[in-house]
Amino acid sequence: MTKQALGPAGRKASTGEQRYFRRGLGLKKEIQPVIDFEYGSALVALIRERDYELRIDRLQLRFARSSGFCYGVDRAVDYAYESRRKFPDRRIFLVGEIIHNPHVNGRLQEMEIEFLYPSEAGEFDFNGVTPDDVVIIPAFGVTLHDFEALRALDCVLVDTTCGSVLNVWKRVEGYARDGLTSVIHGKHWHEETRATSSQVLKYEGGKFLIVRDMAQAEEVCSYIRGEGERAAFMELFEPSMSEGFDPDRDLERIGVANQTTMLASESLDIAARLGVAIQDRWGPEKVPERFRSFDTICSATQKRQDAVKEMMQAPPDVMIVIGGYNSSNTNQLAHLCGLYTTTYHIEDAACIDTVRGRISHKKIGGDEILVEKAWLPPGDVAIGITAGASTPNSKIGEAVERIIRGAGYDPSDLLKS
């Protein structure tokens, strides 16, 4: 696709032009055939039609009943394609990555959508953006500061922020409005959590604290009970708290929220533990005024985790989890599967070497890439398959084809029958 590069001296936006798109650009029907072609898979569709299970002699493939692209990801990808269709001659920028899938992001780059990456401090530089340009906000959302900066530039904004993320934002805004500190279960460096925590700044005195896991949540519980040491607490949470955070003051009244892609059961357990700590410190009669918690678990995340748990009632011999290595929800699926059976988190089909019979995969709970020889057991074998919410069916299908070929069968025969 070719287009004119517009610089600071480019043409001015037309009078009355719509500058903010939140509900699509009206081109869904036009781009849908392209989306289906690029991200669909006849093999995946076939297996789902066969009640999510496929038998080929000794090989049994079992699909999780909920996996792959969720509604929010579908919507974000659609809007990116609609943007290029609607503005063929304009520069289009994307704040960060549209989703955490390298293939989808790579395809957008091929469409000449320019990615704006943050500095090590997580800050974006929008100096090169002009009113003529189009800027796409990813499914994770952007911080309040970045959103206001983009609006001030008067560029065309295409906002793909997921509705589930917006639901969490409403909760933390409510906490800040009512004088409660938001305690957020998430990764402080993740785009979504950065965006969520920034929402408390809409209110003067808004505060937040981000806890990575149950271990950090227990540290917060101890401090609430009066058992913690201030210096150690401040050092532990230094990168994960709002400016001027004072644990002696700001943990007296709290509201709990979460990054939507975290392990749902852990988020709920953390909320429960924090509620007990508040009760221990202030008494049960004070809990209603000092503690709030709402279920802000993303329904798509919940469904994919529930589908894995359903599979694990009769665990397969091997579990393959497909998705970007930097995808939080995919990593959570891999962690969950690993509690029950041998699990390999792969990024795509290229991780499966059908010639040497090897598989390269990301270590669960770490960043190391491991190589497993002779990973496919001999004899009858059941292989479970799931994928993160940012993994398209095309990539799931390619991985399944590699698995089938690695077992000595031709996947093309399935589509002929």
Q: Which amino acid is at 272?
A: A
> Tokens at residue 128, please?
């090169």
Rounded CA separation 4/1 (Å): 10
Any idea which residue has 């019979």 for tokens? 357
Catalytic site residue 192?
yes
Residue of 192, 347, 398, 401 marked catalytic = 192
Q: Can you read off the two tokens belonging to residue 153?
A: 């530039």
C-alpha–C-alpha distance, residues 280 and 209, integer Å: 20
Give dist(CA 269, CA 262) in Å, integer: 12
- Catalytic center residues: 192
